[in-house]
Amino acid sequence: MSRTNSAQREESRSRVGGKQQFSDNKQRMEWRRFFHTGVLVFCLLLLVRACLVSAFVIPSGSMAPVLRGGHRIKSCPCCGYEVAVGYVPRSGGEEIAHRARCPNCGQEFPVTDAPIVGGDRILVDKNVFHWRDPRRWEVVVFSPLEASVEDPLFYVKRVVGLPGESIRLWEGDVYANGQLCRKSWRQMREMRQIVMDMDYPPCPQGWSYRWLVEPSEGDPRLPRQEASFQVQRAGTEVLQGGTLTFHAAQTPQSQQCLTYRHWDYQQQREEPLRAENTYNGAVRGRAFLPPIHDFGLECVVEVLTCHPTGELALRLFDGADPAEAIIPIGGDQRRSYHLWAARRDRNVTTCAQPWQGGTSHSLAFACIDRRAVLVVDNKVLLWLDLPPVQRRSAVSRPLQLGVRGACLRLRHFRLFTDVYYYHDGIHASEQAAHLGPDEYFLLGDNSANSTDSRHWKYPGIPRSAMVGRPFLIHQPLRAVSVPWTKGSSRVTQMLDWSRLRWLR
């Protein structure tokens, strides 16, 4: 009997040992499979890196604010808006830009105490131009003509001129063969530069200095274009923090109108909007900067209450002509959305459902490159091209809003402008630059601080010099303070998730 029990125990031990050995072998196989998979993925990444994409670091701020080189970031002490200023040291150690000017409120402040952040890291598609030609308004990476194999050099610029064209720059815009080059809404959005973000109200004045209340008489759909009316700043019933509220729902004929004026909070005066890139730091003699004429707005509109015949009206003025948009509010039937331009001798209309009470809508309206665009709920609803003009006046009051028969709340309101291309340099300024059959005219968005086709000996860059198209800012950085030892911290650089995005 004992011999039988002993045999059973031996058999049980052998089974347990076999199971343990099987488990160990299975674990080793899993680790081996994991290792082989990791090696395969690593090899695939190397293959993709070698054949399909490349990673580049932006060395300078010639494409700011879309792409940043080495820079400092500091929040404005007046409104809290984050301002990025390029870090460009001189040979003696002194920085060229040691003060910043907030694009939101105009406050100037020092930035030399802010930590230095490295340039953006981008991924570049190296094969896209093997299948198609570079397109206008597209960002490209290329190797300049003076680069050598032993000392490779790469630039990042934007394509503005195509092969065979004659390029001329005038009042910040690009003309090809005498025709104004216009952008689509997607391109406008990609290249915009913010000049006011109402989510960052300046303290302690708030935004009341920038919003003027129109007299109640006049056009019930829009305030007057003239700026000669009696100045009356918006009160708390209209403006609370960064939110605008229109109370015009007492009767179907009730109306409320506001005009935006560009007010410099530091100088305490109204002034025209000018072509200033805050990435370059505070500029002395700003009065000599050229005025800008391309404007746009975006916000979220909440319809609180409305009558069946309510309307929201918007007007943008570029120094030559107004562009007006009319959005219907209330009612069960389809109504007309209108886009008027050039004193209403040009217009386009579409029928759609009006906005209803209790709903919220995203709204964007722009007049850039003499093209008016109305975007509702992320869909381009109407667009209209205005004829080019030779001269436009400086603009300090580019925007007017009017509401009739409705109560609306506007949140996340932002005013923006387009890239301004300075017509200086030896090409495309006084005379047009003529491109060959395989050449492209390239400019930096930060044209006040960019060496590009305007300044090179030969303005055209051949297609053979194109390396690829950037498609992702994959590692933008920001400075953060992290705990280091007890009672102390250290500043380091970490990924800035807010700027991780695709480049279209």
Q: Domain 53-69+119-183+427-504 class?
A: mainly beta
Question: Between 34 and 276, where is the model more confident?
Answer: 276
Listed in sequence order, the DSSP H helices in 60-148 are 128-131
Please give the full DSSP string across 176-215, using - where no structure is assigned.
ETTEE----HHHHHHH-EEEEETTS--TTTTTGGGEEEPP
Q: What is the pLDDT of residue 443?
A: 96
**Is 90 exceeded by the pLDDT of residue 100?**
yes
Q: Measure the CA–CA gap between 325 and 375, rounded to whole angstroms.
A: 10
Q: What is the pLDDT of residues 346-356, one digit of tens each?
A: 899 999 999 99
Q: What percent of the chain has pLDDT over 90?
A: 62
Per-residue model confidence (pLDDT) at position 344? 67
Pick the CATH number of 193-417 from 2.60.120.200, 3.50.50.60, 3.60.21.10, 3.40.50.300: 2.60.120.200
Instruction: Give the CA count within 13 Å in the CB-facing half-sphere of 185.
Output: 19
The closest alpha carbon to 69, from 118, 15, 11, belongs to: 118
Return d(Cα 318, Cα 230) in angstroms, integer. 22
Q: Cα angle at 395 between 394 and 401, to 5 degrees? A: 165
* The pLDDT of residue 214: 78
Maximum Cα interatomic distance, the chain, rounded to a whole number of Å = 117
pLDDT of residue 481: 77
Predicted pLDDT at 14: 55
**For 26, left (φ over 0), alpha (ψ -120 to 50), or beta?**
alpha
Look up 157 and say whether it is catalytic. Answer: yes
Distance CA 349, CA 489 (A): 59
Q: Is the dihedral of CA 211, 216, 221, 224 positive or negative?
A: negative
292 vs 419: CA distance, rounded Å: 9
96 compared with 45, residue with greater pLDDT: 96
Are 167 and 435 contacting, i.e. CB atoms less than 8 angstroms apart? Answer: yes
pLDDT at residue 144 in the model: 79
Least reliable range by pLDDT among 10-19, 234-243, 296-305: 10-19
Residue 189, both tokens: 């959005």
Q: For residue 224, count CB atoms less than 10 angstroms from its CB and return exposed for 0-12, middle for 13-18, buried for 19 or more.
A: middle
**Token pair for residue 395?**
């603009």
Tell me the average pLDDT across 194-202.
95
Average pLDDT over the chain, rounded to whole?
86
- Single-letter amino acid, residue 20: Q
How far, in Å, CA of 214 to CA of 469, rounded?
A: 48
Predicted local distance difference test score (pLDDT) of residue 96: 63
Residue 501 pLDDT level (bands cut at 50, 70, 90): confident
SS3 252: coil
Residue 22 pLDDT exceeds 70? no
- By the 8 A CB rule, do 137 and 187 touch? yes
Closest of 296, 214, 306, 294 to residue 258, by C-alpha: 214
Q: Would the pLDDT of 148 be above 50?
A: no
Measured distance CA(48)–CA(400) in Å, rounded: 51
Average pLDDT over residues 49-74: 85
pLDDT given for residue 40 in this prediction:
57
* Distance (Å, whole) CA 450 – CA 424: 11
Mean pLDDT of 425-446: 94
Burial class for 121, CB neighbours closer than 10 Å (0-12, 13-18, 19+):
middle
Query: 167 near 445, Cβ under 8 Å?
Result: no
| More confident of the two residues 146 and 293 | 293
**For range 474-488, the mean pLDDT:** 78
165 alpha-carbon distance from chain centroid: 28
| pLDDT number for residue 223 | 45
Mean pLDDT across the stretch 186-196? Answer: 95
Catalytic position from the list 54, 60, 62, 447 = 62
Task: pLDDT band for 220, please (50, 70, 90 cuts).
Answer: very low
**78 or 96, which is more confident:** 78
Break the chain into its structural domains and give their ranges.
Answer: 21-51, 53-69+119-183+427-504, 193-417
Given a cut of 60, whether residue 36 has pLDDT beyond it is no
What's residue 225's pLDDT?
47
Task: Find the mean pLDDT for residues 468-497.
Answer: 82
Segment among 218-232, 260-274, 453-467 with least mean pLDDT = 218-232
**Residues 370-388 pLDDT 10s:** 999 999 999 999 999 999 9
The Cα–Cα gap between 15 and 31 comes to: 24
Task: Report how far apart, in Å, the C-alpha atoms of 42 and of each of 30, 38, 57 are.
Answer: 18, 6, 22
38: Cα within 13 Å, side-chain hemisphere? 6
Question: What average pLDDT does the segment 250-276 reach?
Answer: 92
Residues 157, 183, 447, 450: which is the catalytic one?
A: 157
Predicted pLDDT of residue 485: 75
